[in-house]
Amino acid sequence: MSHTTVAGPPRVPVAPATTPSRAGRFWGDTGLVLVRELRPLVRDPFSMLFGLVQPLFFLALFGPLLVSSLGGTDALGGDVWLWFVPSILVMSTLFGTTGTGSNLQMELVSGSHERLLVTPMSRSAMLVGRALKEVVPVVVQALVVVLVMLPFGLRPDPLGVVLTLGQLAVLGVGIGGFSYALALAVRKQEWMFWVVQQTVIFPLMLLSGMLLPLDGGPAWMRTVSYADPLRYVVDAARELFAGDLASPAVLWGWVAALLTAAAGLAVGVRTMERARA
């Protein structure tokens, strides 16, 4: 049907007094989403500790086995905590941020996401604000692990810890972006979310050399591990904890974290913009 002019309903003044630019709208909305996502965490900070249960079990029950099964700490560079605590930090980042899409899933089901879709809020901001929020639980959880381990003899380089937290935060934003994209992609079959999440985290974890050194593994495994961004972040964190801040591994860690963040945000934003109810 042709429809060139619409002599229809009276025009209603709708635009607010000041219409922000596209970019202004995006950053303003990102801030609004970020603050909204952080509020429940700030009001109930202990909720962030639940995410630490699994990583702490690995620390307490897997750590001791590690030393004995490797016949000492030689393969770990001499100090088991400087080798294994960075692993646990990356692990808690991985567990927490891959699951964060479930928060969006709840809002998809309840209708609160839909309510925001029928507002002028920027779609990209809905994703980016949520992903940026991941920084807080990631950093808080990592700090708690480090503090808990100090009485057990962990002696990391302080500046190295700070830089590690930064790298984990960047990594977490990226993984968060992927997790939200997953939640949107499987919103018609919610149960798929945890199936995919579980399927993805274990290969990522084992191929990163997080739990056991890859040096003794088969050649194909070592080759595949180069495709695992976590591998670089784990390696970088170990160098940073040991105080070798200028190691090339640290640089590779930043590259991996930043690439993950860029890719996660890009995929997340794209999925959010394309997702129609």
Contact between 106 and other proteins per CB under 8 A: yes
Contact between 32 and other proteins per CB under 8 A: yes
CA–CA separation, 166 vs 89, rounded Å? 12
Residue closer to other proteins (CB basis): 112 or 198: 112
Query: Packing angle between helix 22-43 and helix 123-133, nearest 10 degrees?
Result: 40
Q: Which amino acid is at 133?
A: K
Contact with other proteins (CB under 8 A) among 23, 219, 246, 277: 277
Contact between 18 and other proteins per CB under 8 A: yes
Q: Residue 46: which of 144, 152, 131 has the closest Cα?
A: 144
CA–CA separation, 106 vs 198, rounded Å? 19
CB-based contacts of 95: which residues, under 8 Å, 6+ apart?
51, 54, 55, 201
Contact between 19 and other proteins per CB under 8 A: yes
**CA atoms 138, 143, 148, 153: torsion sign:** positive
Contact between 14 and other proteins per CB under 8 A: yes
| Minimum CB–partner distance for residue 49 and other proteins (Å) | 17
Contact with other proteins (CB under 8 A) among 38, 67, 117, 186: 117
| Minimum CB–partner distance for residue 182 and other proteins (Å) | 19
Contact between 119 and other proteins per CB under 8 A: yes
The DSSP annotation for 248-262 comes to: HHHHHHHHHHHHHHH
Contact between 38 and other proteins per CB under 8 A: no
Total chain residues near other proteins (CB under 8 A): 37
Contact between 109 and other proteins per CB under 8 A: yes
Residue 140's φ and ψ, nearest 5 degrees, are -60, -45
Residue 198's φ and ψ, nearest 5 degrees, are -65, -35
Residue closer to other proteins (CB basis): 61 or 277: 277
| Minimum CB–partner distance for residue 185 and other proteins (Å) | 18
The DSSP annotation for 176-199 comes to: HHHHHHHHHHTTTSTTHHHHHHHH
Which two tokens mark 194? 């945890």
| Minimum CB–partner distance for residue 14 and other proteins (Å) | 4
Contact between 16 and other proteins per CB under 8 A: yes
| Minimum CB–partner distance for residue 180 and other proteins (Å) | 15
- DSSP H or E segment with residue 88: helix 80-99
From the list 35-43, 137-145, 170-178, 246-254, the region that binds other proteins by CB under 8 A is 35-43
Contact with other proteins (CB under 8 A) among 23, 61, 118, 246: 118
Question: Using CB under 8 A as the criterion, which residues of the chain lie in contact with other proteins when the complex forms?
Answer: 1, 3, 6, 8-12, 14-20, 29, 32, 36, 39-40, 103, 106-107, 109-112, 114-121, 276-277
